[in-house]
Structure formats: C-alpha cells, structure tokens
Amino acid sequence: MSNILKEVGASKEFEGGLPLEDMIYQGEKIGFLTPVNVSGSITNVGEFLILNANANVKLQLQCSSCAQPFDRRLEFDLDAKLKKVEDPDDPDIFVYDGNSVDLRDIVLEYLLLALPIRKQCCQECKGLCPYCGCNLNEEQCNCELSLDYEEEYEVDSRLEALKNVLTVNGEEV
C-alpha cells in the first residue's frame, strides 16, 4: 500500500476473505458461517484514501418472530474515507496505521448497518404463540388467539378518551 500513499490518484484493487468471530449484537447472536468476502479498490485522493468495495457473507441469525436460527446470505457495499489521523470534524472517517489498512472494523460496521431490522426466517413465519410460547411453524397449540383485546385487557381509565378519538362513525379504526 506504500505505493498508493506516495502518489495522488494511485489506486489498488484487492480481493480476499476476512474471517470474523461470532458475536452478540443488540442482544442477538450473529454467527459467521463463512469469511466475509471483500473485493474492491483503495484510491489516494490527496487528503484521504477512498475505499470502494463489495462484500458478502453467509450468516446465521435468529428469527425475530419464532426465535429459531436460520442462515442468510448478506451482500453489502463499503464506501469509506480513510485517514492517517483521526478527524474530530468528520466522524465517518476511518483511521489507518502505517502502510496498511485493517478492514475488520470497517467491514464490521458496514455489515451491522446492512442487517435487516427485523430478521425473519421466511415470509410465512407464524412466530410464537403469545400465550403458551410454542412455535406455530412446527405445531398448533390449543390456545384461543383473539384479536378482541377489550375482552382480555382492562383499559386504563386515563386512556379511555383516546377510544373516542379512534372511532369513525361509531366504528373503531
């Protein structure tokens, strides 16, 4: 990489696998079933280096609905600025040390941003029964699932006025 640092406009393409350890993120386990495959280029634009790359990895995630683990391939782009010295005015700049760039932190940050907010094993996932907790994808329970919450839950008297706001022509909306 020392050649890139010496000459403005210099660029270098790269490709490789980056092994990452399984981790817990926002209370959920993320398992790395493959190394993160990264390919792209680093270009010297004067004040900083520009990293443009594409990455993909096979992950094991936990379904937000049924809590079962499932495998998912994730592909994401990396577009980052790299500087030798930290810039307090630009928190989006990554710092590199010496003549090499450790992509681990950059890849991990972009990977976490690319994760779906709601992780679902499949579109048809029925989730867990809210009463007994059984996985409705695997078995049918005998719990009575009712959508009439008024029968099941007592309404807080302080919120009773909202009931009138949420009706149109006498019907709830």
Q: Which of 5, 84, 2 is closest to 44 using CA atoms?
A: 5
Cβ contact 141:132 at 8 Å: yes
Name beta bridge partners: 11. 43
Span 58-79, pLDDT tens digits: 999 999 999 999 999 999 999 9
Task: Enumerate the domain spans of the chain.
Answer: 2-114
In our burial notation (b when 16+ CB lie closer than 10 A, e otherwise), range 102-140 reads ebeebbeebbeeebeeebbbeeebeebbeeeeebbbeee
Q: Which of 52, 41, 108 is closest to 80 using CA atoms?
A: 52
Instruction: Give 110 or 172, the one with higher predicted confidence.
Output: 110
Backbone angle region of 121, left / alpha / beta, with phi > 0 → left and psi within -120 to 50 → alpha: alpha
Instruction: Give 85 or 67, the one with higher predicted confidence.
Output: 67
pTM here is 0.76
- The burial class, CB within 10 Å (0-12 / 13-18 / 19+), for 59 is buried
Span 105-126, pLDDT tens digits: 999 999 999 999 999 999 999 9
The 3-class secondary structure across 127-143, one letter per residue, is CECCCCCCECCCCCCCC
